[in-house]
């Protein structure tokens, strides 16, 4: 089973468990995330969700065996990226959160990470662009120049730096991210569910116009990428573990 659900009182923990594939997200995983987050949204017994990976990796993003990032009608990419949630979702990160994995983190409401966590948007090194919200959510969650550097170079962002910059809410020792996220969820559960819901809705309403612009710009970039020779070369080079030979077209 690619996704496991765990009930912790009024908190639903959603675990991506494909460690042999670095928790890369395929159709089965997407459907599992969708089912879990549908349950979180629809079951009044749950007030907060936590999404996490395994002890060594959060997620490497889209499984390269998939032609495009798998999506669902309600949640969008990976069942989470475009979801209109009414309950908070906390990302609990151990190990790498790269590409689409980082975009899941950026789509969450709060982030707890251990000192093993690493973040990156390496798409440019593969002839791609961050197509699941990273092109605009990185600029929202990080200083513009830091986000621009990550998007243009594909370099990693150290978790301590991410914490200093405000991307990570709480930093834990290795192995402690999930329990710290559950503790944070417990703090949210002490608040009025109506207040939490309406706060999330008010925040989302303020970001909606920016999101529409961000998705439009992403779609335009993706259209060019899909027709480019560099995309084919970038993916081939990655799979063959060699430096890409860019043609610039």
**Distance (Å, rounded) from C-alpha 47 to C-alpha 239?**
41
What per-residue string of b and e applies to 140-168 under the rule 16 or more CB within 10 Å gives b?
A: ebbeeebbeebbeebebbebeebbeeebb
Q: Helices (DSSP H) in the chain: which residue ranges?
A: 27-42, 100-107, 134-141, 144-153, 159-164, 177-189, 193-226, 229-240
In a domain, 20, yes or no: yes
121 touches 142 (CB < 8 A): no
pLDDT of residue 67: 80
Query: Catalytic annotation on 28?
Result: no
Residues 6 or more apart whose Cβ sits within 8 Å of residue 238: 64, 125, 126, 244
In a domain, 40, yes or no: yes
pLDDT tens for 211-227 read 999 999 999 999 999 99
- Tokens representing residue 2 in the block: 């690619």
Q: Which of the four pLDDT bands, split at 50, 70 and 90, describes residue 18?
A: very high
97 touches 59 (CB < 8 A): yes
Residues 6 or more apart whose Cβ sits within 8 Å of residue 222: 129, 131
Residues 6 or more apart whose Cβ sits within 8 Å of residue 72: 30, 31, 34, 79
Query: Catalytic annotation on 103?
Result: yes
Residues 6 or more apart whose Cβ sits within 8 Å of residue 247: 229, 230, 233
How far lies 61's CA from each of 4, 25, 123, 205, 209, in Å?
Answer: 18, 6, 10, 27, 26
In a domain, 247, yes or no: no
Q: Which member of 17, 77, 123, 179 is catalytic?
A: 123
In 3-state terms, the chain is what percent helix, strand and coil (to 5)?
A: 45, 20, 35
Q: Which member of 17, 77, 103, 187 is catalytic?
A: 103
In a domain, 226, yes or no: no
Q: Which of the four pLDDT bands, split at 50, 70 and 90, describes residue 55?
A: very high
pLDDT tens for 128-172 read 999 999 999 999 999 999 999 999 999 999 999 999 999 999 999
Range of the domain at 50: 3-175
Q: Is the model's pLDDT at 92 over the cut of 90? A: yes
CATH number at residue 32: 3.90.226.10
Mean pLDDT, rounded, for 60-73: 90
In a domain, 167, yes or no: yes
In a domain, 232, yes or no: no
What's the total number of domains in the chain?
A: 1
Q: Which residue has the tokens 């065996």?
A: 65
In a domain, 217, yes or no: no
Please state the pTM of the whole predicted model. 0.96
pLDDT of residue 143: 98
In a domain, 205, yes or no: no
């Amino acid at each position: 089973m690619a996704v496991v659900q765990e009930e912790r009182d009024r908190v639903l923990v959603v675990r991506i468990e494909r460690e042999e594939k670095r928790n890369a997200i395929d159709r089965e995983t997407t459907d599992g995330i969708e089912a879990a987050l549908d349950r979180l949204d629809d079951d009044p017994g749950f007030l907060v969700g936590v999404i996490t990976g395994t002890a060594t990796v959060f997620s490497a993003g889209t499984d390269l065996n998939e032609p495009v990032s798998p999506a669902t009608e309600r949640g969008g990419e990976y069942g989470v990226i475009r979801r209109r949630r009414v309950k908070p979702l906390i990302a609990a990160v151990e190990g790498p959160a790269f590409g689409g994995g980082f975009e899941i983190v950026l789509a969450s409401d709060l982030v707890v990470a251990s000192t093993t966590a690493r973040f990156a948007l390496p798409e440019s090194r593969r002839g791609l662009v961050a197509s699941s919200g990273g092109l605009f959510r990185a600029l929202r969650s990080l200083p513009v120049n830091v986000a621009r550097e990550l998007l243009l170079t594909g370099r990693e962002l150290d978790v301590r730096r991410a914490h200093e910059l405000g991307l990570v809410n709480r930093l834990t020792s290795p192995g402690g991210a999930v329990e710290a996220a559950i503790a944070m969820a417990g703090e949210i559960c002490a608040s009025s569910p109506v207040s939490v819901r309406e706060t999330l809705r008010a925040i989302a309403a303020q970001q909606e116009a920016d999101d529409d612009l961000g998705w439009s710009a992403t779609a335009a970039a993706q259209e060019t990428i899909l027709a480019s020779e560099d995309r084919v070369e970038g993916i081939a080079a990655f799979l063959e573990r060699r430096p890409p030979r860019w043609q610039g077209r």
